[in-house]
């Protein structure tokens, strides 16, 4: 018996996600001062393991954050944000079917 692989991720059409129904999004913050996880995922391998676990638990979208937005957090440069996010992004891209998003306000980081 052949069972098709479940489709967790929404379809991308022209780079735009066609949601059509609710989807679960998991968040991985690779910041030392995150209010949600206290810097638990600074190590890229730990962050990768958590991201893959989130996908296995049903997340269709994985959001990566490299700059804390907690009240009072110090802003970081685009270079610092890239140094935080890229190691995880490079490891995760070839291993996931989930849509990856980057939580940033900086164009340089968005283009990564």
Residue 33 is assigned to a structural domain of this protein: yes
At 73-97, the pLDDT tens digits run 899 999 999 999 999 999 999 999 9
Nearest CA-CA partner of 34 in 62, 67, 1, 83? 67
Q: Is the model more confident about 58 or about 4? A: 58
The answer, yes or no, to whether residue 15 has pLDDT greater than 70, is no
- Residue 2 is predicted with a pLDDT of 41
Strand partners, 12: 17
Residue 82 is assigned to a structural domain of this protein: yes
Q: Is the model more confident about 105 or about 6? A: 105
At 20-61, the pLDDT tens digits run 788 899 999 999 887 677 678 889 999 999 999 999 999 999
Q: Is the model more confident about 104 or about 20? A: 104
Number of domains in the chain: 1
**Which sign does the torsion angle of CA 44, 47, 53, 56 carry?**
negative
- The radius of gyration of the chain from alpha carbons, rounded to an integer in Å, stands at 15
CA dihedral 2, 54, 17, 65 (to 10 degrees): -160
The answer, yes or no, to whether residue 11 has pLDDT greater than 70, is no
Residue 66 is assigned to a structural domain of this protein: yes
Residue 50 is assigned to a structural domain of this protein: yes
- The answer to whether 23 touches 10, Cβ cutoff 8 Å, is yes
Give the domain range for residue 92: 23-110
């Amino acid at each position: 018996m052949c069972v098709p692989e479940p489709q967790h991720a929404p379809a991308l059409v022209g780079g735009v996600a066609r949601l059509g129904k609710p989807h679960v999004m998991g968040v991985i913050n690779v910041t030392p001062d995150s209010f949600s996880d206290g810097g638990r995922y600074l190590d890229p391998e730990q962050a990768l393991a958590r991201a893959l676990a989130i996908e296995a638990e049903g997340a269709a979208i994985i959001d990566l954050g490299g700059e804390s937005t907690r009240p009072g957090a110090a802003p970081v440069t685009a270079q610092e944000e890239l140094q935080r996010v890229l190691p995880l992004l490079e490891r995760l891209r070839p291993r996931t079917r989930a849509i990856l998003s980057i939580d940033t306000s900086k164009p340089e980081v968005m283009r990564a």
